[in-house]
Amino acid sequence: MDQTSHAINVLSWASDIHLDHSKQEAYDHFINKIKEQNPSHVLLAGDIANATQVIDRLTSIQSALNTDIYFVLGNHDYYGSSIKAIRDEMITLVANHTGLFYLTQINDVIELNPQSALIGHDGWADAKEGDFQNSTVVLNDYILIDELSNISRHALKAKLHALGEAAADKLRPQLQKALSKYKKVIMLTHVPPFVECCLYQNKPSTSDWSPHFVCRSIGEMITQVMANFPDNELLVLCGHSHHHADYSPSKNIQVIVSGAEYGSPMPQDRIILDS
């Protein structure tokens, strides 16, 4: 059964707020800017804090806004722990805290209003774009996340592939189910699904950086699925690159990537849904 809520017409969303890098004044400003948007619900697309702070930050945001928060996690949210441990902690958190919803662990389609639905997953930069083998980039992910540290380059590539593919495999049936009932679907994820919208200085990431900043598995999946639903619309909301982008690989897919700056968390332009 679909998870259904009251009709939602205005959504606030943000990504890469990195509250572990923000002072109280910046956090208060962030909360006030969301309140100014007067949203029905709030979406957070990951990189909320780090492993030691993410739970406290999520509960603080929900309490301050007193509204439902739908969220996914980003790579930074796992820093200092493991993917499995933090995802398990999120399951416990949402089970015991009204108003928090971790989309990665939700299998149902969430109805926003009779025309629109929400799905989501953390996603992961899956090393399929660009040239991972010869990339000189070493993210903190490969040092600070248990499953990705102290393993060979070959094993790391296989693990990143698996993380991206698992995200796409989970989202595929959800997207198909949502499109069969709703005109518009919003997908919340952390990592851009296409290199064309993963920008640095207004240009797509190079082959050195794109393996670490694009989830091609999700991009390929949504391209395949949306080709079978030409009259429907998919809006992907994501972040990770800290550079705003608005990209449409086809007439029925739009990807918006959040801009971001450490120490200055801000909501993006609100999403107004057709009622």
Residue-wise pLDDT for 160-172, tens only, equals 999 999 999 999 9
Q: What is the structure's pLDDT at 4?
A: 43
Q: What is the structure's pLDDT at 202?
A: 85
Beta bridge partners of 250: 253
Domain boundaries of the chain, sorted by first residue: 11-272
Please enumerate in sequence order all residues whose Cβ is within 8 A of that of 191, keeping only pairs 6 or more positions apart, or say none: 74, 123, 124, 125, 213, 214, 215, 218, 238, 240
Q: What is the structure's pLDDT at 8?
A: 72
Banded pLDDT at 203 (limits 50, 70, 90) = confident
Within 10 A of 274 (CB to CB), how many other CB atoms are there?
Answer: 11
Q: Does domain 11-272 have CATH number 3.30.565.10?
A: no
Tokens of 62: 């929900």
**Average pLDDT estimate for 77-97:** 98
Q: What is the structure's pLDDT at 7?
A: 61
Q: What is the structure's pLDDT at 261?
A: 94
1 pLDDT above the threshold of 70: no
**Average pLDDT estimate for 174-203:** 96
Q: What is the structure's pLDDT at 28?
A: 98
Is pTM beyond 0.85 here? yes
3 pLDDT above the threshold of 60: no
Percent of the chain with pLDDT over 70: 97
2 pLDDT above the threshold of 50: no
* Average per-residue pLDDT for the chain: 95
Within 10 A of 45 (CB to CB), how many other CB atoms are there?
Answer: 33
Please enumerate in sequence order all residues whose Cβ is within 8 A of that of 169, keeping only pairs 6 or more positions apart, or say none: none
Strand order in the sheet with 116-120: 3-4, 110-113, 116-120, 184-188, 233-238, 253-257, 245-250
258 pLDDT above the threshold of 90: yes
Q: What is the structure's pLDDT at 55?
A: 98
5 pLDDT above the threshold of 50: no
What is the gyration radius of the CA atoms in the chain, in angstroms?
17
**Average pLDDT estimate for 256-266:** 96
Q: What is the structure's pLDDT at 201?
A: 82
80 pLDDT above the threshold of 80: yes
Tokens of 160: 């990143």
